[in-house]
Structure 1
């Protein structure tokens, strides 16, 4: 057998299920040249044989992670004294970690996470003085952490979470100033206080102590950790108050104090208002009292969630709450708040969830709340609100859940709520409502509409079992006076009607004259066909639900058949909801942007329509080319039972899509005059044609950089909330930063990570400081195939089984994914200045895709016709 320097068997290329099958290791024991030995991400079973200890003492990298290996870690592992990287993670190792691990004094990374290792952690770990990364989370270690860990003077990151460690927190670890990335001690059984020695973590970015049995006050010395970005202290028994010195942690972005016994007033001298980088603040389930801390409402960086629920706050909701213009979720439930709801709430235009339930808010529901058009959940249950339900709530087109139960509301149920087609949960129970119940929308769903305890309601659908409504009584005759009033009123009405008709026809004529020009730019010229409202109604069957393709922030998109150039053509029509604040501006901006761009990977504008509907209300729509394969989001997150489409999005096609997106953004930034910043790049805005060629669409938030450079920097500050979508929007936008090409690059990086992992950045697992980027970084490079979209893995197996030399194809396939993700991680850096520019990113992804194509072409995997067609498309210059 040849004796290589590197032996790597990648994903699913090798299977061993018994100890005997591991005997190939004996053939390698004389390979003194062997430096790298990798068997990760296979289906290796059985026990790791003791013969592994006989491998070369010059071996530097040993990777056997992500297999099905069981049994104990061999005692002789300590013989491999040349190891710098040891990866045993994601297996089923049991027993204790052998004390001989301390002999590996060159070791820099030790990965033991996600196994079943038990017993005490050996004190010999303190001998690994070169160790940079120690990952032991998700095992069954017990007992105290050894004090010898304080000798790891080079350590950068250490995770001990989700084990059974006991005893007090290890003070020696807190003195390791080298810790700069993460220290995770969460989900264990540590007891006692947080020692003042925590002040030694002066360079640490992420500290997690969640879900332990810690108690006592938070030490003032915690404020010395001025490099902290995320601090998780939730689910313990910390008491006393928040130390005012916490305001010194100016870079803090996540603060989680949920589920403790913290008490007292959050005073001004706690200076939460100084945490200007904070975007997640979690204070729920404590014993805080006094008024709500006004300072925290002035934190413009708060963009994800502010949770002050389940405390004892008293007093009103101050008007300063209107300062939370970038916040997505605000939770104030289960307090003792009172007084009217302030109109300033309507300034919180980025809110998607607002929970004010279980308080004592009184007065009426302000109509201004209806201007929060992005709101998806509104909970006002268990207050003392009175008056009628505002009709304007029916204008909240994106509302999905509305809870108004257990108040003192009266009057009729607004019929306008029938129009909120997204509404699927409506709870109006235990109020004083009366009159007829509407029958459409959420009211047609007996399981989504709750009305119990309102004795005056009638009508509605039969499933509600309400009594029929009584017809309104009509008198048997009219008095002469009433008759006179009726005649006069009717005459005046006729005259008024004729006058209005005259005004209407005059205005309509003027409207037609100006309908082709909007905002100072020409909306359509001879190059664009003219379509009318009537044609769009006919082509969509009256904007029927069967033709609905999707809904967005400012309107709905329908499939439509139009007669264009004497040919029936299928197009997509985006109809703007002009009741939605900002929709007219979005229509104007999108038309202007689309009129300036031409590229094969950008959605094509067919025409625009700005006129009146059948009720003479303003009507605005944009007509695009139709994309039969829908959005990339639908392909990545569709029902797993739709197997034929899932199998269609292969690695090759994903690489092509990544190239398409990169080319589109590169064109907007570098080849379009003037340059355009998209500002809302995400999978739902990336559409696929019949050949799965990607087209970037939805330019409603786009920024055209037509201003002089100096003026542009001034005007690019966001003043209306986050410019983009949570999860994809660049961090600097949430902090009021400038709109720039770096923001699009960040979104591009997130989209590419989602494309190859199949996981959205808003997935439930991404909380407590974990993000999609960190998830990928933690797996990089050795574990990336484990977090890759599982749909991709069968492609490797089938290629390997069907080809001579197929292992090379598989190996290159598994290399392509880390290469692409490396580009994506470089694009999604937190600091804009650290991100790769889009031109370099596009070049890199082109190279990765082309190298992969060469391999599979050589092995006859790719159909020649498909390859020729795709290269013809990619080489075609944009008009």
Structure 2
């Protein structure tokens, strides 16, 4: 073999050296581009505090060591930028599109605003884009479709609007996750989404989308999660959706969808864990096959038009945690229909049960006491059920909310109710309950709300209620309670929304401790037999808006220091035995809209109340036993 001439060998050596140098320069230039792009990104953002954002980002160190930056092992290029939850703000700079080796971009949970830069379309290697939980606006850029390798597009909880581009399904066919929830997107769901055969998670909830749900979504053969809740979708739910055998979660709550549930749903969706159809217009019976969904953890069918009986073996879904059937036309009576309650005893993890606002009748089933001790919220009101609250209700030790309201339930509140130590809300209004209020209610120290109005409860109010240091609302109006109001009630500074004991037979003076209700908005004690003077201490209730003491036997003068309650909107002191003059105090209450002083023994002129910024309706009949009917007028 002939030797290569020295000149040719020298030329080849020089050429090889030049190629290597050029390649090194190319890599170096890309490195410089990435560093410059990151610094341009930093310039455009800000963060509260004196330290400033991203202090580690400076030219004295390699950008591969900067906070949130990950570089590829061999290339030295930026392959991931993760600055989620950094409190960053500003607009996304176009320079971010120069990070052309980027595979992951996560800027979620920040305060970025403005549009999504079109330059993101240059990120051809991008696989994950997460800009969720910002304040981004504008539309989805069409050229995002150039990121053909993308597998996750997460833009939820922003202010994005406009249409979902059809190119999303035409070119981004590798997508496994699409989350556009909680934006202002409009229009229809593009039929092209049916091309996303690898898609596993689709969340378009809480937008302004409309029209029908495309039947072509049956092409999503890998899908496990679909959430289309809180939009304006109408028409029937495509039957093809029930053929997606890998589907574990289907949520379409809060639309105007209609139609019925297929009779064989339990056989067609064997993997279903969460079925949420609530707040639509679905009708027909709940099919028995739903009991075949052995992995079901949440079944929410509330606020539709379902009718008939609840499947009697519903409790076969033993993993059920959340069952909402409220707001339908479901039926049961003493002869038939309550069997499902027996079977629910098998659901040992049940936490939420809503059966209210249906057509259930008959006795409250005794099996209610066999429900899971994990049950936290139980709603069965607004039905025509009767009977008594079973004493073994105390078995439901995990209860936080108990609602048996607007029914025909009668009898006494059982003493055992005091064993429900976790109870936070107690709704027993509009029933036929009678007997004494058990002192054991005072053991429920986590209670925030007690609503037991419009019953036939009698006897004194237990002083033990004064132990309820977290109570915000106490409404026991329209009963037959008697005796004095315990001073302990007025020491509950936690009462911030309402204290309503009106229309009972309560007597005695209003204790001076009423001034301890410094956070209360509504004080309603009208329609009782309270007597004595209105305590001066009431002026300490400085956030009071409604003071209703009419139809009692209060006497003496109206406290002049009511002017200290600057937010009063309604004062009703009529039908008492108040005397003296109408104080000028009302002139200093700028928010006052309604003042009722009729049928007292008041004398003197009506104050001008020029200080009020509102139109005041004032009724002052029977001043000094003289007919001075003054219709509501502007003072």
- Between Structure 1 and Structure 2, the one with more strand by share is 2
Normalising to structure 1: TM-score of the pair? 0.49
Secondary structure class of the residue paired with 1:281:
strand
Secondary structure class of the residue paired with 1:126:
helix
Give, in whole Å, the separation in 1 of the partners of 2:227 and 2:538: 57
Task: Answer yes or no: is 1:147 the counterpart of 2:312.
Answer: yes
Give, in whole Å, the separation in 2 of the partners of 1:97 and 1:438: 66
Task: Answer yes or no: is 1:34 the counterpart of 2:203.
Answer: no
Normalising to structure 2: TM-score of the pair? 0.66
Computed over aligned residues only, the root mean square deviation of the Cα atoms, in angstroms, reads 2.9
Secondary structure class of the residue paired with 1:117:
strand
Which of 337, 344, 368 aligns to 1:198? It is 368
Structure 1 residues 797-840: Cα deviation after superposition (integer angstroms, max 9, x where no partner): xxxxxxxxxxxxxxxxxxxxxxxxxxxxxxxxxxxxxxxxxxxx
Task: Answer yes or no: is 1:335 the counterpart of 2:504.
Answer: yes
Aligned 8 A contact 1:116 1:139 in 2:
yes
Match of 2:458 in 1: 289
Q: Which has the larger radius of gyration?
A: 2
Match of 2:596 in 1: 427
How many residues align? The count is 455
Which of 424, 441, 456 aligns to 1:253? It is 424
Match of 2:353 in 1: 183
Give, in whole Å, the separation in 1 of the partners of 2:482 and 2:184: 60
Task: Answer yes or no: is 1:115 the counterpart of 2:284.
Answer: no
Which of 448, 453, 466 aligns to 2:622? It is 453
Deviation at 1:43, TM superposition (A): 5.4
Deviation at 1:117, TM superposition (A): 0.4
Secondary structure class of the residue paired with 2:187:
coil
Correspondence list, 1:748-767, <5 A: none
Give, in whole Å, the separation in 1 of the partners of 2:418 and 2:631: 59
Task: Answer yes or no: is 1:77 the counterpart of 2:231.
Answer: no
Task: Answer yes or no: is 1:326 the counterpart of 2:494.
Answer: yes
Give, in whole Å, the separation in 2 of the partners of 1:310 and 1:167: 30
Correspondence list, 1:693-842, <5 A: none
Task: Answer yes or no: is 1:101 the counterpart of 2:265.
Answer: yes
Match of 1:15 in 2: 187
Q: Runs of 5+ in structure 2 lacking a partner?
A: 1-169
Deviation at 1:250, TM superposition (A): 0.6
Match of 2:19 in 1: none
Cα 1:70–1:383, aligned 2, differ >3 Å: closer, same or farther?
Answer: same
Deviation at 1:377, TM superposition (A): 1.7
Which of 127, 130, 154 aligns to 2:295? It is 130
Match of 2:390 in 1: 219
Secondary structure class of the residue paired with 1:344:
helix
Correspondence list, 1:159-178, <5 A: 159-168=324-333, 169=338, 170-172=340-342, 174-178=344-348
Give, in whole Å, the separation in 2 of the partners of 1:442 and 1:216: 55
Correspondence list, 1:511-550, <5 A: none
Give, in whole Å, the separation in 2 of the partners of 1:162 and 1:279: 25
Aligned 8 A contact 1:310 1:334 in 2:
yes
Match of 1:546 in 2: none
Match of 2:176 in 1: 6
Give, in whole Å, the separation in 2 of the partners of 1:363 and 1:204: 47
Which of 240, 258, 276 aligns to 2:445? It is 276
Deviation at 1:175, TM superposition (A): 0.7
Secondary structure class of the residue paired with 1:178:
coil
Task: Answer yes or no: is 1:92 the counterpart of 2:262.
Answer: no
Deviation at 1:369, TM superposition (A): 2.2
Deviation at 1:52, TM superposition (A): 3.6
Give, in whole Å, the separation in 1 of the partners of 2:397 and 2:580: 55
Structure 1 residues 721-758: Cα deviation after superposition (integer angstroms, max 9, x where no partner): xxxxxxxxxxxxxxxxxxxxxxxxxxxxxxxxxxxxxx
Which of 299, 318, 323 aligns to 1:158? It is 323
Aligned 8 A contact 2:414 2:438 in 1:
no
Task: Answer yes or no: is 1:266 the counterpart of 2:447.
Answer: no
Secondary structure class of the residue paired with 2:532:
coil
Which of 526, 537, 544 aligns to 1:357? It is 526
Give, in whole Å, the separation in 1 of the partners of 2:344 and 2:294: 16
Cα 1:401–1:66, aligned 2, differ >3 Å: closer, same or farther?
Answer: closer
Give, in whole Å, the separation in 2 of the partners of 1:191 and 1:405: 43
Aligned 8 A contact 1:124 1:148 in 2:
no
Give, in whole Å, the separation in 2 of the partners of 1:60 and 1:289: 55
Structure 1 residues 44-68: Cα deviation after superposition (integer angstroms, max 9, x where no partner): 5444454444541x32123333443
Give, in whole Å, the separation in 1 of the partners of 2:632 and 2:538: 31
Cα 1:367–1:173, aligned 2, differ >3 Å: closer, same or farther?
Answer: farther
Give, in whole Å, the separation in 2 of the partners of 1:364 and 1:4: 78
Task: Answer yes or no: is 1:233 the counterpart of 2:398.
Answer: no
Aligned 8 A contact 1:435 1:456 in 2:
no
Aligned 8 A contact 1:74 1:98 in 2:
no
Structure 1 residues 847-866: Cα deviation after superposition (integer angstroms, max 9, x where no partner): xxxxxxxxxxxxxxxxxxxx
Deviation at 1:327, TM superposition (A): 1.1
Cα 1:60–1:296, aligned 2, differ >3 Å: closer, same or farther?
Answer: same
Deviation at 1:134, TM superposition (A): 1.7
Give, in whole Å, the separation in 2 of the partners of 1:96 and 1:179: 28
Give, in whole Å, the separation in 2 of the partners of 1:433 and 1:40: 61
Cα 1:322–1:114, aligned 2, differ >3 Å: closer, same or farther?
Answer: closer
Give, in whole Å, the separation in 1 of the partners of 2:515 and 2:438: 26
Give, in whole Å, the separation in 2 of the partners of 1:124 and 1:445: 61
Deviation at 1:382, TM superposition (A): 0.7
Aligned 8 A contact 1:316 1:337 in 2:
yes
Deviation at 1:400, TM superposition (A): 2.8
- Between Structure 1 and Structure 2, the one with more helix by share is 1
Structure 1 residues 404-448: Cα deviation after superposition (integer angstroms, max 9, x where no partner): 001111111112332233333211111111112222346897742
